[in-house]
A and B are shown apart, each in its own frame.
Chain A
Amino acid sequence: MDSHHSYSQVKGVSTGTTILAVKFNGGVIIGSDSRASMGESYVSSKTINKLIQVHDRIFCCIAGSLADAQAVTKMAKFQLSFHSIQMESPPLVKAAASIMRELCYNNKEELQAGFITAGWDRKKGPQIYVVSLGGMLLSQPFTIGGSGSTYIYGYVDAKFKPDMSLEEAIQFSTNALALAMGRDNVSGGVVHLVVITEAEVKHVVVPGNKLPKFHDE
């Protein structure tokens, strides 16, 4: 993801952020922090929702300008729902990611937002797609994004294992987000996780005081 892009030029409310998604055995976890900032010094919201449901089993997490991201996900939600009605079946995760990519690529001059789309569908099971600022679409087994992601590349590269169990995956995501939030000033608040499997969608919230602590804290 464009991790070296500085989000300080974003006008208005920005989700200078840490977002991630990771595939595990049977599903996918998508997670984020909950801080929204204005400029580099004012936290405009401690509890913003960055995990947006675009369909029953497909979620998007947003980074960058909050206004742009909300507008794109609204549009994507509408188009996806229309597509799903026309096809008379739940949409593929790739379809959702493609819709986001079309919007980001065609409007790349005006928009300043990046997304991680993750979910479950009948054809390929759990999947994760990254749609970056300029409209690149990439499929990955796990991915991190946002300004806080630069601090955890080492951690996720070292600790990720394919086919983790649900508990391992939750621990992995929580640790990664906690480490990023500990080092990045524009990420913070609580950790939001959404676990998406064939059977259900489960929200897990880890409040600040329950986050894992690392030796220097």
Chain B
Amino acid sequence: MALSYVLEPAVSGFNFENSTRNIVLENGSEEGKIKAPKPMKTGTTIAGVVYKDGVVLGADTRATSDEVVADKMCAKIHYIAPNIYCCGAGTAADTEKTTDMLSSNLTIFSMNSGRNPRVVMAVNILQDMLFRYRGMIGAHLILGGVDCTGSHLYTVGPYGSIDKVPYLAMGSGKLPAMGILEDRFKGNMDLEEAKALVSDAIHAGIMSDLGSGNNIDLCVITKEGVDYIRPHRESIYNYKRQAKYKYKPGTTPVLTKTVNQLELELVHETVQMMETAGSS
């Protein structure tokens, strides 16, 4: 086949060996019930728009873990290649790792073939991988980039479906964001218009969705290069602390102090010489 890229060997799906154990633990007797930890989701608003000279991607920066904001300045626009970036919604770990793997594979491909990767190749690799995992990887992605064939924006779903679109919003805040995009999108916008549109779409998502919030990141990709604006717009709710809340040393009086020496017995010692004679 064509130039190969290094993808992990196709093991059949996920390892479900622990599922029966987990069910037993969760349904245990009243005192023994254990709740499984919930994965951190980026209840999110992400959006992308193709404009005259390239692609503008946008995202909010809130990562939630149930009702708590786990990360206020989470980076949801991931680097894939110098000319390709990807916004991720869904399970935070899944989007991070999927985009990381994609980026490594494309770098290897670039080095092997001497060519810059195309957006459509990135999309195909993602589609293959996500389809193979049958929706278990919760990654809803917006992939955008500029290559020798033009500017492209694709959506990749967790089951492995793809669609090529001129504008798009994903994540829990996608409905309000889509409203803004549907209203104001035009073909061939200029840069400032496109940035304002994406920024307003994310803002609508932030205002109308509990899972999205904090700042807005933008990423502008053109033939010339990438402008990663982080943050483009900061949240109006300022989180700067009013005073220093550290306790001074001596605040808590020390009453007694005991030191227990640990008796360590040297049982076994091996020495292995390293080959440091400068070879490679």
Which positions 68-101 of chain A face chain B at CB distance < 8 Å? Answer: 68, 70-71, 74
- Encode B134-167 as 1/0 by CB contact (under 8 A) with A: 1100000000000000000000011111110100
Q: Are B157 and A13 in contact (CB under 8 A)?
A: yes
Q: Are B159 and A65 in contact (CB under 8 A)?
A: yes
Point out the residues of chain B lying under 8 angstroms from A11, CB to CB: 135, 159
Point out the residues of chain B lying under 8 angstroms from A66, CB to CB: 157, 159, 161, 163
Which positions 180-196 of chain B face chain A at CB distance < 8 Å? Answer: none
- Encode B38-59 as 1/0 by CB contact (under 8 A) with A: 0000000000000000000000
- Interface residues in A, total, Cβ within 8 A: 16
- Interface residues in B, total, Cβ within 8 A: 14
Q: Does A45 contact B (CB under 8 A)?
A: yes
Point out the residues of chain B lying under 8 angstroms from A68, CB to CB: 131, 159
- Closest Cβ of chain A: how far from B136's Cβ, in Å? 11
Q: Does B127 contact A (CB under 8 A)?
A: yes
Point out the residues of chain A lying under 8 angstroms from B157, CB to CB: 12-13, 66-67
- Number of A-B residue pairs, CB cutoff 8 Å, is 43
Q: Are A110 and B160 in contact (CB under 8 A)?
A: no
- Encode B225-243 as 1/0 by CB contact (under 8 A) with A: 0000000000000000000
Q: Are A12 and B158 in contact (CB under 8 A)?
A: yes
**Cross-interface CB contact of A67 among B124, B161, B165, cutoff 8 Å:** B161
Interface of chain B, main secondary structure = loop
Point out the residues of chain B lying under 8 angstroms from A36, CB to CB: 163
Q: Give Cα distance in the complex from A71 to B131, angstroms.
A: 7
Q: Are A67 and B160 in contact (CB under 8 A)?
A: yes
- Closest Cβ of chain B: how far from A61's Cβ, in Å? 16
Point out the residues of chain B lying under 8 angstroms from A206, CB to CB: none
| Chain A residue at minimum C-beta to C-beta distance from B132 | A71
**Cross-interface CB contact of A70 among B135, B158, B161, B165, cutoff 8 Å:** B161
Q: Does A48 contact B (CB under 8 A)?
A: yes
Q: Of residues A12, A36, A66, A68, which shows the largest number of chain B Cβ atoms within 10 Å of its Cβ?
A: A12
- Closest Cβ of chain A: how far from B143's Cβ, in Å? 15
Q: Are B161 and A13 in contact (CB under 8 A)?
A: yes
Q: Give Cα distance in the complex from A67 to B132, angstroms.
A: 10
- Closest Cβ of chain A: how far from B171's Cβ, in Å? 13
Q: Give Cα distance in the complex from A68 to B162, angstroms.
A: 11
- Closest Cβ of chain A: how far from B165's Cβ, in Å? 7
Point out the residues of chain A lying under 8 angstroms from B134, CB to CB: 110
**Cross-interface CB contact of A45 among B127, B130, B159, B163, cutoff 8 Å:** B163
- Encode A40-66 as 1/0 by CB contact (under 8 A) with B: 000011011000000000000000011
Q: Are B163 and A12 in contact (CB under 8 A)?
A: no
Q: Known contacts A67-B131, A110-B134: does B159 contact A12 (CB below 8 Å)?
A: yes
- Closest Cβ of chain B: how far from A209's Cβ, in Å? 17
* B residues neighboring A (CB under 8 Å): 124, 127, 130-131, 134-135, 157-163, 165
Pairs across A and B, CB under 8 Å, 25 listed: A11-B159, A12-B135, A12-B157, A13-B157, A13-B161, A13-B163, A36-B163, A44-B163, A45-B165, A47-B165, A48-B163, A65-B159, A66-B157, A66-B161, A66-B163, A67-B130, A67-B131, A67-B157, A67-B161, A70-B131, A70-B161, A71-B131, A71-B160, A74-B124, A74-B127
The 10 closest A-B pairs by CB, nearest first: A12-B159, A67-B159, A66-B161, A67-B161, A67-B160, A13-B161, A71-B131, A45-B163, A12-B157, A13-B157
